């Protein structure tokens, strides 16, 4: 199901997607009894004897669903019970029999995945379409606030706003050092702090293949996601036993902002398969669904722009991608993130018209005027606790910028950080004057 948001949703309030509710029956999990019994066997094989509630927590399924599978395994003489009767079966201690350990070894050979039970890919697709990036409220004032730590013109704000609202791919280009990456990262920070939260499954199941989705390296769990410590805490018991609570197979996160640069290869855009575990890891752009995927320094990746074009030309148009399992079978997943290409190369020389046509918004970042440059220079002075020095700025323009060097905003940061280093090395109070900026420029701006 794809949910389209109206203008009122976008402008007036944060669209909070509905949370996936915990399954009440085995059929509502979308998983077979055989899969769940195998996951129980593997979990006990790896973790050892466990309380029922610990097993429920490990597998992220309500205990009343596991109870049916545990009863089956007990009748099959795969599981034995030792002790516990404080709050019913959930407090029983479950362990494997010798026959159960053999069955667990057989299950591990098929798939070594142990962890939260996966979500069917169909449920994942439905949830992605409930939490599109176009659901993020955005106004001109909101964009200005997101860029408050930068010096940008009103014209640039009016260009960036519609690009972000569209949820379509954005091409940011311009000379080196003009702030393209800073602007792209500011958009990412806006998504993180003002974009609301979304839900992502720990893993999905597609055609019997298990694909891990949640990645703590690139995903930030929401602040209220953490449970009280302890396997028998009241909050945990409520979550695992009650109905109409969040499905624990999902985790609430801030909208993801994933950044990749020159290290990007085509392999990183496909499923990563572990042949020993028979488990897949989702590619970067799928982990970015509902958020931002920033390709920095586009054109300098290990894969060529043409190769990336051939890989993404249809996903950019159709808003979905196809991933291939080890057995050759393909399955469809949403391609729903704001993709930002940032480059200091000429876009016309990087990609052809077919690719550029699929990137709706092209934002050129030019070298700033002297007035804007001075504002940026003084902003960095305040950040670094240096005094402002109009004479230092005049020296830079007389010596470099009036003779052909581009007024790069990054020069302000780099030069002033060198000034700070000079002062610290000489054990002087932090200060700025023409002599220091001249020495910093001599070190930083190579003149061959």
Read off the pLDDT of residues 249-283 as tens digits, 9 standing for 90 and up.
Answer: 999 999 998 988 878 888 889 999 998 889 999 99
Query: For the residues 83-89, what does the mean pLDDT come to?
Result: 63
Distances in whole angstroms, Cα of residue 151 to Cα of each of 6, 155, 163, 179, 187: 32, 12, 19, 10, 14
Residue 17, domain member (yes or no): no
Instruction: Map residue 28 onto helix, strand or coil.
Output: helix
Please say whether the beta carbons of 217 and 224 come within 8 A.
Answer: no
Instruction: With residue 420 as reference, give the H or E element that holds it.
Output: helix 409-425
Residue 21, domain member (yes or no): no
Is the pLDDT at 2 greater than 90? The verdict is no
- pLDDT at residue 88, rounded to an integer: 67
Tell which of 56, 85, 115 closes a domain.
115
- pLDDT at residue 236, rounded to an integer: 52
Distances in whole angstroms, Cα of residue 257 to Cα of each of 105, 217, 264, 297, 406: 39, 11, 16, 16, 30
Tell which of 50, 84, 115 closes a domain.
115
- pLDDT at residue 225, rounded to an integer: 65
Query: For the residues 83-97, what does the mean pLDDT come to?
Result: 77
**How far is 78 from 82, CA to CA, in rounded Å?**
14
Query: For the residues 359-368, what does the mean pLDDT come to?
Result: 86
Is the pLDDT at 112 greater than 90? The verdict is yes
- pLDDT at residue 181, rounded to an integer: 83
Residue 90, domain member (yes or no): yes
Is the pLDDT at 44 greater than 90? The verdict is yes
Query: For the residues 394-408, what does the mean pLDDT come to?
Result: 93
Please say whether the beta carbons of 208 and 219 come within 8 A.
Answer: no
* pLDDT digit string, tens, across residues 284-309: 999 999 999 998 888 887 888 888 87
- pLDDT at residue 7, rounded to an integer: 39
Closest of 132, 135, 121, 119 to residue 20, by C-alpha: 119
Query: For the residues 312-326, what does the mean pLDDT come to?
Result: 89
Whole-model pTM?
0.82
| pLDDT band, residue 101 (cuts 50/70/90) | very high
Instruction: Map residue 422 onto helix, strand or coil.
Output: helix
Q: Higher-confidence residue: 170 or 242?
A: 170
Residue 85, domain member (yes or no): yes
User: Directed axis angle between helix 52-59 and helix 63-75, to 10°?
Assistant: 110
- pLDDT at residue 22, rounded to an integer: 92
Residue 166, domain member (yes or no): yes
427 and 411, same structural domain? yes
**How far is 299 from 350, CA to CA, in rounded Å?**
6
What are the phi and psi torsion angles at 218 (to 5°)?
-115, -10
310 and 423, same structural domain? no
180 and 89, same structural domain? no
What are the phi and psi torsion angles at 46 (to 5°)?
-80, -40
390 and 312, same structural domain? no
Tell which of 115, 143, 167 closes a domain.
115
315 and 202, same structural domain? yes
- pLDDT at residue 266, rounded to an integer: 87
162 and 248, same structural domain? yes
Is the pLDDT at 3 greater than 70? The verdict is no
Is the pLDDT at 224 greater than 80? The verdict is no
Distance, C-alpha 171 to centroid of its chain:
19
**How far is 11 from 1, CA to CA, in rounded Å?**
23
77 and 208, same structural domain? no
Is the pLDDT at 234 greater than 70? The verdict is no
The label of the residue with tokens 């010096």 reads 151
What's the longest Cα–Cα distance across the chain?
Answer: 88
Is the pLDDT at 5 greater than 60? The verdict is no
- pLDDT at residue 231, rounded to an integer: 43
Residue 313, domain member (yes or no): yes
285 and 198, same structural domain? yes
Is the pLDDT at 331 greater than 90? The verdict is yes
Tokens read off for 115: 């962890």
Query: For the residues 194-205, what does the mean pLDDT come to?
Result: 91
- 341: CATH: 3.40.50.300
Q: Higher-confidence residue: 33 or 146?
A: 33
| pLDDT band, residue 314 (cuts 50/70/90) | confident
- 87: CATH: 1.10.10.10
48 and 86, same structural domain? yes
Please say whether the beta carbons of 410 and 179 come within 8 A.
Answer: yes
Looking at the 3D structure of the chain, how many domains does it have? 3
Q: Higher-confidence residue: 378 or 311?
A: 378
Enumerate the H helices of 258-325 as residue ranges. Answer: 284-287, 305-318
Share of the chain above pLDDT 90, in %: 52
Neighbours of 334 (CB within 10 A): 20
Which residues form the domain of 45?
32-115
Residue 19, domain member (yes or no): no
- pLDDT at residue 310, rounded to an integer: 81
320 and 214, same structural domain? yes
Q: Higher-confidence residue: 226 or 65?
A: 65
| pLDDT band, residue 184 (cuts 50/70/90) | confident
Average pLDDT score, the chain: 86
Is the pLDDT at 1 greater than 60? The verdict is no
**How far is 288 from 257, CA to CA, in rounded Å?**
7
| pLDDT band, residue 12 (cuts 50/70/90) | very low
Is the pLDDT at 21 greater than 80? The verdict is yes
Residue 12, domain member (yes or no): no
- pLDDT at residue 133, rounded to an integer: 86
46 and 147, same structural domain? no
- pLDDT at residue 437, rounded to an integer: 96
298 and 163, same structural domain? yes
* pLDDT digit string, tens, across residues 411-435: 999 999 999 999 999 999 999 999 9
């Amino acid at each position: 199901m794809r949910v389209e948001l109206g203008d009122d949703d976008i402008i007036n309030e944060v669209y909070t997607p509905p949370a996936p509710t915990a399954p009440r029956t085995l059929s509502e999990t979308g998983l077979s009894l055989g899969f769940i019994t195998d996951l129980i066997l593997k979990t006990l094989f790896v973790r050892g004897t466990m309380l029922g509630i610990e097993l429920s927590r490990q597998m992220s399924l309500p205990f009343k669903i596991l109870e049916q599978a545990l009863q089956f395994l007990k009748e099959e003489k795969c599981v034995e019970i030792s002790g516990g009767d404080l709050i019913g079966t959930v407090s029983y201690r479950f362990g494997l029999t010798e026959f159960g350990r053999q069955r667990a070894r057989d299950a591990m050979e098929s798939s070594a995945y142990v962890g939260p039970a996966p979500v069917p890919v169909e449920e994942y697709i439905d949830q992605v379409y409930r939490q599109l990036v176009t659901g993020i409220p955005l106004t001109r004032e909101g964009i200005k606030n997101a860029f408050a730590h930068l010096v940008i013109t009103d014209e640039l704000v009016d260009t960036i706003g519609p690009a972000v609202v569209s949820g379509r791919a954005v091409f940011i280009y311009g000379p080196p050092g003009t702030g393209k990456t800073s602007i792209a990262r500011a958009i990412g920070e806006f998504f993180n702090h003002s974009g609301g939260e979304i839900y992502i499954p720990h893993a999905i199941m597609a055609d019997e293949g298990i694909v891990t989705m949640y990645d703590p390296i690139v995903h930030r769990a929401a602040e209220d996601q953490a449970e009280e410590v302890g396997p028998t805490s009241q909050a945990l018991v409520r979550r695992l036993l009650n109905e109409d609570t969040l499905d624990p197979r999902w985790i609430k996160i801030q909208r993801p902002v994933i950044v990749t640069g020159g290290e990007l290869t085509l392999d990183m855009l496909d499923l990563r398969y572990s042949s020993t575990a028979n488990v897949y890891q989702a590619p970067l752009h799928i982990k970015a669904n509902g958020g931002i995927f920033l390709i920095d320094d586009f054109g300098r990746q290990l894969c060529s722009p043409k190769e990336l074009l051939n890989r993404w030309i249809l996903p950019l148009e159709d808003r979905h991608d196809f991933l291939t399992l080890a057995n050759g079978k393909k399955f469809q997943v949403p391609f729903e993130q704001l993709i930002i290409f940032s480059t200091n190369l000429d876009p016309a020389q990087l990609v052809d018209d077919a690719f550029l046509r699929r990137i709706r918004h092209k934002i050129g970042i030019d070298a700033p005027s002297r007035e804007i440059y001075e504002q940026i220079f003084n902003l960095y002075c305040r950040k670094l606790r240096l005094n402002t020095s109009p004479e230092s700025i005049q020296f830079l323009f007389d010596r470099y910028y009036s003779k052909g060097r581009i007024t790069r905003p990054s020069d302000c940061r780099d030069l002033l950080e060198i000034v700070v280093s000079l002062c610290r090395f000489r054990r002087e109070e932090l200060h700025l004057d023409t002599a220091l900026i001249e020495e910093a420029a001599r070190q930083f701006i190579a003149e061959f």
